């Protein structure tokens, strides 16, 4: 159960190309963050909570301090 005062954000992401491996999803996200925001950003704490059996989507939990740091307006 999620509370309103949670320090986490839950993100539903599309995955392309499809993969069912959580570690592949984590590596892809870390590489993209490092490329976009610098090497330290690639080590942002995140949990891959679920990967779609078809490999098309995933749910990621990230601490709000990381999500806010990567916000693009």
Is 8 part of any domain? Answer: no
* Predicted local distance difference test score (pLDDT) of residue 9: 85
What pLDDT was estimated at residue 48? 94
Q: Residue 4 falls within a domain, yes or no? A: no
What's the confidence (pLDDT) of residue 25? Answer: 92
**pLDDT recorded at residue 72:** 47
On whether residue 37 sits in a domain, the answer given is: yes
For 41, which DSSP code?
Answer: G
In a domain, 3, yes or no: no
Q: Are 55 and 66 in contact (CB under 8 A)?
A: no
Range of the domain at 50: 14-69
Specify if 42 maps to a domain: yes
**pLDDT beneath 70, residues of the chain:** 1-5, 40-43, 65-73
Q: Convert the pLDDT of each residue in 50-66 to its tens digit.
A: 999 999 999 999 877 66
Q: How many domains are contained in the chain?
A: 1
The answer to whether residue 50 sits within a structural domain is yes
Q: Determine the Cα–Cα distance for residues 14 and 25; give it in Å rounded to an integer.
A: 10
């Amino acid at each position: 159960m999620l509370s309103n005062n949670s320090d986490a954000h839950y993100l539903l992401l599309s995955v392309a190309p499809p993969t069912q491996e959580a570690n592949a999803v984590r590596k892809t996200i870390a590489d993209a963050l490092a490329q976009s925001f610098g090497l330290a950003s690639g080590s942002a704490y995140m949990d891959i909570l679920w990967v779609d059996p078809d490999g098309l989507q995933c749910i990621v939990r990230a601490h709000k301090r990381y999500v806010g740091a990567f916000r693009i307006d």
